[in-house]
Structure 1
Amino acid sequence: VCSSDVVACLALPLRAAAAHRAVRVHGGRRDVASARASRRRTVAELTAVALALGAVELLRRRGATGTSGELVSLAPVLVGVIAALALVRLHPPVLRRLTRPAGRLRGAVGYLALARAGRTSVSAALPLLALLTAFTTAAFGGSVLAGVSDARDRAALLAVGADARVEATAGPLPSGLSDRLGDVPGVRGLTEVSIAYQAKAADGRQSLPVAGVDPDAYAALAARTGLGGFAPDELTRRDGSEDPLPALASPMVAERFGTAPFPVRMEDGTSVTLRITVVRDRTPAVFRDDFLVVDRAGLSAQAARPTALLLSGDGPDAGALRRAAGEDASVHLRSEERARYVDSPLQSGAEHVYTAAVAAGAGYATLALLLSLAGAAPERTALLARLRTMGLTPAQGRRLLVLESLPQAVPAVAGGILTGWAAIRLLSPGIDLTTIALAASSPSAGRAELRTDPWSLAVPAFAVLVLTVGVAAGQAWWSGRRGAVAELRAGDGR
């Protein structure tokens, strides 16, 4: 027999003997606290990180115009996946660090819960991936819907100036109309405004709107609506003073006239000298980019007669407003203006897509959590049965299961909130919601930006915590009803 044959025959037995030189009852631990990531997993995670960063950067540079490819549309999900992978990496070291100080606490329930959470299998950490991805999707979709709603509210407010607007079709409003409108259901307050759209400034070749207001009432309305708030004394001229009348102007008008006094010829032929003291981008009375707002007390009696009424209230009755206004005035409601922005198939389709994304994200999160808890239910039930034979009370059993489930739920909730916020902050520069929010282009409304919606972050987080605690407490209650002996016998039968 040649030496090569001897080597070939002895190779396999010697290898087996070397592998089994130490007697082992079972294989090594493969739990969360001791498992180490393989090289393949590290390469896959780094690849996913590179894809996510590339998608986010493309979206920020080019915007959501459809030219960035399908990769950009996956940016929110990729951000959630990357955060989930990072959380799965950080979860085991944190558990190991928390177990040591928990061992010095009084009572064994807290330490046992953390030890049990660290001894779960590696596959038990996979629901964290599903939870964080679902959290990010739900937060992003909910923030899109909230941004669309806010943009529509803003555009409707800019178009009306208040909750309702009653404006004369020609000339001033009839006397006594303010009292009649004040009695309409839903009207809490009204502000009288006299608007001269054909006032002439300086050389008289170009007209611009001049609104005469009561400074106190109009300042309160501007602060309530968020449209160019100011202090009432900024438009008030000192008693007995012959100084130019203070005026609030748009940036365009302020750039044109500066801070020097200038004359303005009103529609009734009278002239008034104004000086710009306040500059604001918006004002409730006028929708245009060029306007002046002054104190009505500085105008003539004819020019100070109200031509428009700005009404505030919770859902004023449209029919009652129109009956009280009659045929001499037009009525515009903020709610009716807002309803005009939801008649586009593109808008309704996009809203349905994001609503489905929120629902799907919530459903996947709930399913992942329930499957994770259901998979560990038999082992937890058997554990409670054994511990009850050693003196564990029902209250301690419920506390044990709740504390054991929190090391998975709490990181998912905290990571989901942080990831959702970060994803929105990263992607908002490249996303314009104006096309989805408004049926027609509204330059005065500006760009509808994506902003973080607190409810979209808080509601899923609260729901996950409630579901986790509820399922754990219910499982402890149900196992207590069966009794320790019955449960142990059932386990022996299996």
Structure 2
Amino acid sequence: MAARPARRTAAPWVRTRLRTAPGAALALALLALLTSFLAAAFPRAVDAYESEGLRHELSSAIPQRSVFGLSAAPQEDADPDDRAAALRGARVAEQYREIVAGLPKPLRADAEGSAYGARVLTPVPADDPWLPHLDGGPTVFTVSSQAGLESRSELRSGRLPRAGHTGPTAGRVEAAVTVRTAAVLGIKAGSTVHLARDGTRGPLAVTVTGVVEPLRPELGYWDVEPVLRAPAKLWTSGPTPEPYWHGALLLPPEAAPVLLSLDAGSEAYWRLAVDPEGLRAGDLPALRAAVASLERGPARAALRESVAEELDAESGLDDLLGRYADTLTAIGPVVAVGAFGVGTVAAIVLLMSGGLAAARRHGELALLRSRGGSLPGTAGRLLAEVAVPVLPATAVGCALAFVLLPGAPATPSLIGAGAVALIGCAALPLRAALAHRRPRLPGERADSVRKRPSGRRTVAEATLLVLAVAAALALRRRGAAGGSVDWLVSAAPVLVGVAGALLLVRLYPLPLRLLALPMARRRGAIGFLSLARAGRAPATTALPLLALLVALTTAAFGGSVLAGVADARDRASLLAVGADARVEAAGDELPKGLADRVREVAGVREAVAVRREFDIDLLDGDQDIVTLIAVDPEAYARLSAATGHGGFDAGELRASAGALPAIASPSVAARLGEGASTVAMADGSFSVRVTRVRESTPAMGDGNFLLIDAAGLPVPRQPSTLLITGSSVSGPGLRAAVPGSAEVLLRSAERAAFTDSPVQSGAGLLYAVASATGAGYAVLAVLLSLLRAAPERTALLARLRTMGLTRRQSRWLLILENLPQTALAGAGGALVGWAAIVLLAPGVDLARLALAGQGRFDALGPVWLRADAWSLVLPALGVVAVAAGVAAAQAWLTTRRGTTTELRVGDAR
């Protein structure tokens, strides 16, 4: 029997294609890796700065706001021994451990910042004659038996107090005081303070055995009740308040029952500092729920059963977390605008990569279809071919985001990377299936000039236009910072860019036709040929144009956001300081000659002396505080003009006979009316007449003020404030020139304080990165668009070169051929970006993003977007320059090579 011939095995499609075009596969893998990394990293970056911001808010807040306080007073009708036992240190410590163990998740106590013990409810007076006695009365003391004194302080003199066998009926007890308390109140180790009790038992003698220095006084152990570490002045009530001293005596925990002998009342307390370590932004709702449960919910009920029946809770933690949640709610939608823009451009670029591959392999796929290849089978082969580089690259990009930004929830990142993988894998098969679903004649034209839009395309464009209008109206009405992230509102700038791109694509053939007419009459062929080539560009030109316009709109919008934030911070810092620097007197007046010394400091251009009085009376019965500002009109007018803040003409303020001319804030002007009014101050009264109204003035950024000529004061007074201008004012030099008691404020320092919060700085950085990434994808879209037609252009130049086209003409031909589309994209992108900013600006309030929770100035007004010329023009010019540069480089490379190879290869071209 004759041997049967061996059957040839068909080469595997995927392996063959990857070996044939490894460069294209590698480029696709790199694009998928980069896009996957960005898609996975964005939600993780948002979670990172939000989580850091939450921890920063908890750790940087003053303990009065961040510490959770619980307290329980002994029951009045209980047995005396039970009342004493309720305050003893061992019992309070045991209850502290029960409270910490019963905290609802994710709330955890920071042991170092927490404190517990017993204390009197109201300060107790001491009548020792050696204690300082102010006009308001004798010195009073808070008596506290807070546990942990030995580990939270350093002994400076004497020894720490001992409890001994102290009980409610004891007449003597030992205590410690801090260094500051000892210095101010004249206490030393061995001193005895006698605290008043009812007359039948006589005073309680408290012997101070030691003086201690607090360690880390900023923690809640010392700072929740600041008097524990330093005495303070209290004031009597009444028409003339008078001061008296308030100090603290620190008893050992086991001596707490002696507090029951004082008439001030007593209670056990537990102050829990929140441990921010490990908290993330996703824990914020559960954290707020835990705090609410402790304040008035199930957790408090459970602690009442296990700790004390009358357990009370008090904390500012709920307000702190609520304000932080409001900040996230305000910033999140603004950041989402940038994310939608970059995500849309990235998706378009991925689709363009698939379109580029499908166009380059059009002949191959057409041949495959003509030989019986089914549409699903061809699409399946292309899907398998693309999946080999895309899926591993997407997985690597996602894993890289997980490694660089650990700890965030995985689901959003996985969804983002999955979307990249889906688009990257589906772009080529779908584009090829659409292009080859029906046969095309060899000479059939499908360019942007001749091809008419289909009905389905018209419906899709109309739908997008309606969505863009709805999104713009929703953003203007609801705002981008008024609630949770709304997809339609956040996508408003992108939809406006898409609508502009579709409009430009519709109008694109018209200028080409109009320009082609005069070019046809010119002698040179380059102009007409370049316009004809631009008009013969495929109708799929809409995709790169769409990518360019969306990218440019996103970059312009992002740049305007950053410019609006920077402008708001500049204005807010100016309102806070009044000039480039300010010197404020510690007392009532600045030293004589200080203004002259300050003018000699390096960087100071001018120093304007101002007198501010806070106790004036407009004699209209209104109790609102009004600040009188007395100035030299000429110098202050120059200052107002230099700062661009409340400018006026010096002649309007110069004192003359009769009522003093004055500049007032709107509310003060309304109170004084149009005629002359009398103003009273401690040194006398005078008459004023409001000649101009200003929202603010350098010496008073926010609030009610009345600005007059200092020469019109009833009694001349020394200035209390210096306002200093100079772009390079030296902080150390300025502080060296003024007395140590005076306060020096720098506008640069105030400006920097607005970016201290991780939320604001992180969101601003993320927005800047988003804008830069969008611009990068725009450049990539230009490159892909040029690469798509590179083989055809190379062959065209080779043919034209054989017919006498010079190298210079060849280069100009390629540059001018790409110029209409790129110029249209650049000009259209700048125009659409400007239109998007104008349309959407009233709905985007950037105050929370700009001012970092530092408070708002009424004079600042809403912080809206503003069109930034650089953000509009530079990206557009960059796109045109890149397109022209790539075209010139391609022409140079083509003309440097010989034309023989190009003419012999590829008959179909």
TM-score (norm 2): 0.50
SS in 2 for 1:309: strand
1:66 to 2:492 alignment: no
Q: 1:236 aligns with which of 654, 657, 660?
A: 654
More displaced stretch, 334-343 vs 383-392: 383-392
CA displacement, residues 90-134 of structure 1 (integer Å, 9 cap, x when unaligned): 112321222122111231111110001001112233210100011
More displaced stretch, 26-35 vs 149-158: 26-35
Instruction: State, as a whole percentage, how many aligned pairs show the same letter.
Output: 56
Say if 1:116 and 1:404, in contact at 8 Å, map to a contact too: yes
Q: 1:151 aligns with which of 552, 568, 571?
A: 568
* Partner residue, 2:406: none
Say if 1:405 and 1:472, in contact at 8 Å, map to a contact too: yes
More displaced stretch, 443-452 vs 413-422: 443-452
Say if 1:236 and 1:246, in contact at 8 Å, map to a contact too: yes
* Partner residue, 2:445: 29
SS in 2 for 1:263: strand
* Partner residue, 1:275: 689
Q: Which amino acid in 2 is paired with 1:378? A: P
More displaced stretch, 136-145 vs 471-480: 471-480
Give runs of aligned pairs for residues 405-484 of structure 1, distance below 5 A: 405-440=818-853, 441-444=855-858, 445-484=860-899
**Aligned-pair distance for 1:487?**
4.3
* Partner residue, 1:286: 700
1:41 to 2:452 alignment: no
**Residues 136 and 25 of structure 1: is their aligned pair in 2 closer, same or farther, counting only changes over 3 Å?**
closer
Q: Distance in 1 between matches of 2:589 and 2:779?
A: 61
SS in 1 for 2:739: helix
CA displacement, residues 141-180 of structure 1 (integer Å, 9 cap, x when unaligned): 1111111111111111100001110111112211221122
**Aligned-pair distance for 1:300?**
4.8
Say if 2:609 and 2:722, in contact at 8 Å, map to a contact too: yes
CA displacement, residues 445-494 of structure 1 (integer Å, 9 cap, x when unaligned): 32211111111101101111111111122222222221334543566799
Q: Distance in 2 between matches of 1:262 and 1:146?
A: 44
1:209 to 2:627 alignment: yes
**Aligned-pair distance for 1:204?**
8.1
1:189 to 2:606 alignment: yes
* Partner residue, 1:106: 523
**Aligned-pair distance for 1:429?**
1.5
SS in 2 for 1:285: coil
* Partner residue, 1:54: 470
CA displacement, residues 7-30 of structure 1 (integer Å, 9 cap, x when unaligned): xxxxxxxxxxxxxxxxx9734211
* Partner residue, 1:10: none
TM-score (norm 1): 0.89
More displaced stretch, 456-465 vs 315-324: 315-324
Say if 1:173 and 1:328, in contact at 8 Å, map to a contact too: no
**Aligned-pair distance for 1:313?**
1.1
1:318 to 2:731 alignment: yes
Q: Distance in 1 between matches of 2:508 and 2:626?
A: 64
* Partner residue, 1:15: none
**Residues 184 and 486 of structure 1: is their aligned pair in 2 closer, same or farther, counting only changes over 3 Å?**
farther
Q: 1:263 aligns with which of 678, 690, 708?
A: 678
**Residues 75 and 476 of structure 1: is their aligned pair in 2 closer, same or farther, counting only changes over 3 Å?**
same
1:198 to 2:611 alignment: no
**Aligned-pair distance for 1:249?**
0.6
**Structure with greater contact order relative to length (CA < 8 Å, sep ≥ 6):** 1
SS in 2 for 1:198: coil
Q: Which amino acid in 1 is paired with 2:535? A: G
SS in 1 for 2:663: strand
**Aligned-pair distance for 1:214?**
1.6
SS in 2 for 1:194: strand
Q: Which amino acid in 2 is paired with 1:265? A: A
Say if 2:618 and 2:672, in contact at 8 Å, map to a contact too: no
Structure with the higher helix share, 1 or 2:
1
**Aligned-pair distance for 1:336?**
0.8
Q: Distance in 1 between matches of 2:541 and 2:493?
A: 24
Higher Cα Rg, which structure? 2
SS in 2 for 1:327: coil
Q: Distance in 2 between matches of 1:121 and 1:443?
A: 55
Q: Which amino acid in 2 is paired with 1:258? A: G
Say if 1:84 and 1:129, in contact at 8 Å, map to a contact too: yes
**Aligned-pair distance for 1:225?**
1.8
1:115 to 2:529 alignment: no
**Residues 149 and 376 of structure 1: is their aligned pair in 2 closer, same or farther, counting only changes over 3 Å?**
same
Q: Which amino acid in 2 is paired with 1:110? A: G
* Partner residue, 1:297: 711
Give runs of aligned pairs for residues 329-408 of structure 1, distance below 5 A: 329-408=742-821
* Partner residue, 2:207: none
Q: Distance in 2 between matches of 1:288 and 1:355?
A: 31
Q: 2:640 aligns with which of 216, 222, 232?
A: 222
Q: Which amino acid in 2 is paired with 1:160? A: V
Say if 1:366 and 1:464, in contact at 8 Å, map to a contact too: yes
* Partner residue, 2:87: none
**Contiguous gaps of at least 5 residues in structure 2:** 1-439
1:93 to 2:510 alignment: yes
**Residues 251 and 103 of structure 1: is their aligned pair in 2 closer, same or farther, counting only changes over 3 Å?**
same
CA displacement, residues 375-412 of structure 1 (integer Å, 9 cap, x when unaligned): 22222222222222222222222221111111100110
Say if 2:665 and 2:695, in contact at 8 Å, map to a contact too: yes
Q: Which amino acid in 2 is paired with 1:161? A: G
Q: Which amino acid in 2 is paired with 1:480? A: T
CA displacement, residues 347-392 of structure 1 (integer Å, 9 cap, x when unaligned): 2332233223202210211110011112222222222222222222
How many residues in Structure 1 have an aligned counterpart in Structure 2? 466
More displaced stretch, 373-382 vs 456-465: 373-382
Say if 2:502 and 2:542, in contact at 8 Å, map to a contact too: no
Q: Distance in 2 between matches of 1:271 and 1:490?
A: 100
Query: Please, what is the CA RMSD of the aligned residues?
Result: 2.1
**Contiguous gaps of at least 5 residues in structure 1:** 1-23
Say if 1:58 and 1:68, in contact at 8 Å, map to a contact too: no
